[in-house]
Amino acid sequence: MTLLAFIFLLTFLSAESASSRHLPKAASTPVFGPQQVYGLLNGSVTVKCFYPPTKVNRHDRKYWCRESSTRCITVVSTSGYVAPGYQGRVSITDYPVAQNFQINISNLALADTGTYQCGIGINGRGLSHKVNLDVSKGPHVPEGAELFYVKLHSALTMSCSFGEDTVSMRKFLCKMYKNGCYNIIDSYGKVDEDYTGRVLLSHEEPPGSFSVVITQMGWEDSGLYLCGVGSYGEHGETKELDVHVYEETNVPQGKPTIIGVKGSSVTFECNYEPLKKSSVKYWCKWRQNGCARIIDNRGFVSDLYEGRVAMYDSPNNKTITIILNELKDSDKGYYWCMTDEEKEQQSSTELKIIDGEPGLQGKKEVEAQVGSRVDLTCSYPCKYYSYQKYWCKWNSTSFTPMPASDQRHPGPDVTCDTDNKTVILSFDSVTKEDQGWYWCGVKHNDLFGETMAVYLQVTGGSGASRSLELLNVDAPSHAEPPSHAEPPSHADGGFNPQGRASSDAGVRSAAASESSQSHGSNTLTPILVSTCAALLILATAFAIFKYRQLKRSDLVSVGSYRTNISMSDFESVKEYGASNNACVKESQETQIGGDEFVTTAAPPESAAEIKKAKRNSKEDADLAYSTFLLTSSSIAQGSSGGDSAAPDVSPPNWEGQI
């Protein structure tokens, strides 16, 4: 029970601490101004009060009143009223464009010390801000806090300067709470975890000056800040910064966190003040010591991001779209949408990288020769079936998608094969100017989705076989090689390697055309190879024959004789039209039977002389050796590419063979 009570107490204390540090939305008031104003006797003060720039607020009554025990009595208003005792020394001016109105009081008297309200509409209706005025004789007047009135989710820039004597001292920004000033960022690189990725401290001129930028301002960011040098409460100097956050609904907000798949792409949207146009808009990656610029709308692109990042302006909805593809682990972090104008809306977005499979697939690098045809292919999954597909050539100054279409037109052509779910960018005759980065992507409802980057490398030369090798294997089957291509010669081997985009028919036609040039220099290499192979076979057979002679194997019968010559060697004699023994008439050729007794076919006049004869092993070996020599010679002749024909001898009769 005691443990439960202790846990409840800790929860209550942590909730109270959080609520004290982060004010809820209801705690903020639409009208904002200084909490304390100081003035010298007989001097003057100016009070500036801010209000949300709604149409009602711009045209409504603004007033300055002094609080009493029962009500707030009007001193001056934009309706023209000035209270007695203040005529000639108090005025009120409205600045609708600047979203504020100012009250000026001169000839200050000690009696002017008190509590006042600046407000809009009717006194005491809630649209007001309380201001304490303190008039003193001097000689020095405390400096009041500098006011900052910022829109919800926008950026705040605060500048502080303390002189050249403070150049080597620690610079810091802290936020005031009941129990002290909590450090947000300092020049030593320390950043509060609640502000990681959205606060940046930069040194400025003159020496001793610095600025702090905070993006994605929330309701909890309202309050009193101190910028200073040294250490708070110990030594150094400080300056008060009073910050108020208000809501404006006519500016859309981007996502605070984006999740990207490794190898795929992500899209960022930067929203800017609709009423203003900044000279430079840029996108950078946040680091503790600065924000490294990646791309801007003037054409700058960091070398590390060439071909990977693009900026697209959408003036209709007042946004700029940034696309980053080929994501890797090092891309995770915080990215800022920035402008050169401090009052422009600036935002930060966190990018997280996860493992996964990109939706768009294809070759990331393609090489082609000048004048050849090349296809860049991009496969998409079923989820992108209804999306608009496009290809575009990347450059640093523009981003112009080329939608997929079935109509041909001059230059690169984009087609979409819906059956194979592939988008193809085709070049009929690629040139050096076509070299560069190309992006394949999808769009839906005018919003850019996933993209994939491909680099096309264009090389010089006119070799046809090289051009064919570089065609994309995913290209359509009807793709033809360039008209100037020459057929591959025997010097190239006359074959089609795996992965090459040329067809078998093209290789066959090249081989056929070669027969008319058989005596050219291109035929020298295969003839030499065939001749060397035949000589090697002859030498091997001769060595085997000599070895068998030495073993005296002539007493072995044909039925039990074993030789390395297979029956397929004899079958090859039929294929090449050569006889086993050209010196013997066909009618007298010996047929090899299944046993040791062989019957020979003879003419009728010698039929009576038919007898059974037993052939010794030496005679059989001689016949086999002669047959092998003729077979090897025929094979060598056949491999020469048709230079000579086989002997014009009818094939022997093999009936009765095993």
Average pLDDT per block of 10 residues along the chain, 658 residues long: 49 43 47 88 91 82 92 93 93 91 94 93 83 86 81 87 90 92 92 91 91 90 92 86 77 71 90 64 85 89 92 79 92 87 69 90 90 90 86 79 54 66 87 90 85 90 38 37 39 35 34 39 58 77 65 40 42 42 40 41 43 48 62 54 44 43
Look up residue 407 and give its amino acid: Q
Question: Does 608 lie in the same domain as 556?
Answer: yes
Report pLDDT for 514.
38
Residue 538 contacts residue 632 (beta carbons within 8 Å): yes
Query: What residues make up the domain containing 276?
Result: 257-354
Question: Does 186 lie in the same domain as 168?
Answer: yes
Full DSSP string of 215-244: -S--GGG-EEEEEEEEETTTEEEEEEEEEE
Residue 584 contacts residue 642 (beta carbons within 8 Å): no
Q: Which of 486, 518, 540 is the last residue of a domain?
A: 486
> Which residue in the block uniquely carries the two structure tokens 């035929």?
523
- Whether the ω angle into residue 84 lies within 30 degrees of 0, i.e. cis, is no
Question: Does 300 lie in the same domain as 203?
Answer: no
Question: Does 156 lie in the same domain as 129?
Answer: no
Question: Does 331 lie in the same domain as 424?
Answer: no
- Integer Cα distance of 316 and 455 in angstroms: 32
Report pLDDT for 578.
40
**Rg, C-alpha atoms of the chain:** 47
> Which residue in the block uniquely carries the two structure tokens 């294809």?
362
- Whether the ω angle into residue 139 lies within 30 degrees of 0, i.e. cis, is yes
- Residue closest to 482 by CA, chosen among 363, 408, 374: 374
Residue length of the chain: 658
- Integer Cα distance of 319 and 312 in angstroms: 9
* β-strand pairing of 436-444 with 388-393: antiparallel
- Integer Cα distance of 638 and 631 in angstroms: 11
> Has residue 251 been placed in a domain?
no
Question: Does 111 lie in the same domain as 49?
Answer: yes
Residue 149 contacts residue 156 (beta carbons within 8 Å): no
Q: Which of 300, 332, 354 is the last residue of a domain?
A: 354
Report pLDDT for 351.
92
Residue 131 contacts residue 118 (beta carbons within 8 Å): yes
> Has residue 277 been placed in a domain?
yes
> Has residue 510 been placed in a domain?
no
- Residue closest to 343 by CA, chosen among 250, 278, 424: 278
- Integer Cα distance of 322 and 311 in angstroms: 5
235, exposed or middle or buried, with CB in 10 Å at 0-12, 13-18, 19+? exposed
Question: Does 412 lie in the same domain as 373?
Answer: yes
Residue 404 contacts residue 389 (beta carbons within 8 Å): yes
Question: Does 178 lie in the same domain as 101?
Answer: no
Q: Quick count: other Cβ atoms within 10 Å of Cβ 128?
A: 24
**Number of domains making up the chain:** 5
Q: What is the largest CA-CA distance in the chain?
A: 163
Q: Which residues pair with 118 in a beta bridge?
A: 64, 129
> Has residue 651 been placed in a domain?
no
The 3-state DSSP composition of the chain as helix, strand, coil percent (nearest 5) reads 20, 35, 45
Q: Which residues pair with 173 in a beta bridge?
A: 185, 227
Query: What spatial distance separates the first Cα and last Cα of the chain, rounded to whole Å?
Result: 102
Residue 365 contacts residue 351 (beta carbons within 8 Å): no
Look up residue 340 and give its amino acid: D
Report pLDDT for 316.
74
> Has residue 30 been placed in a domain?
yes
Question: Does 531 lie in the same domain as 615?
Answer: yes
Q: Which of 98, 123, 144 is the last residue of a domain?
A: 144
Structure letter (DSSP) for residue 646: P
Report pLDDT for 319.
81
Q: How would you list the strands of the sheet with 257-261, edge to edge?
A: 257-261, 347-354, 333-339, 281-287, 290-296
